[in-house]
């Protein structure tokens, strides 16, 4: 499954932890936005790590998932900040 994840973390202390977690699983594309393919078990592990890190009363994490890439058109205007790599 292909995922797009974005987050808004209220605490400066939790922010680096969240960034580190997301970079382990997905490709960073802009500030707090990530994308990539994950298996069901990888996605479950990601959600578990995020749940242990965030404060549900202050932070927000949103994921979008697509199971058929034919319905995704990615267009970058300007600089594509990161080359896509798929390592976990």
Q: Specify whether the CB–CB gap between 33 and 88 falls below 8 A.
A: no
Q: Please report, in angstroms and rounded to a whole number, the separation of the first and last CA atoms in the chain.
A: 15
* Residue predicted with more confidence, 16 or 71: 16
Beta bridge partners of 6: 33, 62
Give the chain's mean pLDDT: 90
Edge-to-edge order in the sheet of strand 2-8 = 27-30, 33-37, 2-8, 60-66
Predicted pLDDT at 21 = 97
Q: Specify whether the CB–CB gap between 18 and 49 falls below 8 A.
A: no
Predicted pLDDT at 77 = 85
Read off the pLDDT of each residue in 36-51 and give the average, rounded to a whole number.
97
- Per-residue pLDDT band at 84 (split at 50, 70, 90): low
Distance between CA 67 and CA 37 in Å, rounded?
10
Predicted pLDDT at 71 = 80
Q: Specify whether the CB–CB gap between 21 and 45 falls below 8 A.
A: no
Tens of pLDDT, residues 48-73: 999 999 999 999 999 999 988 888 88
């Amino acid at each position: 499954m292909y995922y797009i994840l974005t987050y808004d973390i209220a605490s400066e202390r939790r922010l680096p932890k969240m960034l580190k977690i997301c970079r382990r699983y997905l490709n960073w594309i802009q500030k707090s936005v990530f994308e990539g393919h994950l298996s069901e078990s990888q996605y479950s592990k990601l959600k578990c790590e995020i749940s242990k890190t965030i404060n549900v009363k202050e932070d927000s994490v949103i994921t979008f998932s697509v199971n058929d890439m034919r319905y995704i058109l990615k267009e970058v205007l300007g600089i594509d900040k990161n080359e896509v790599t798929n390592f976990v």
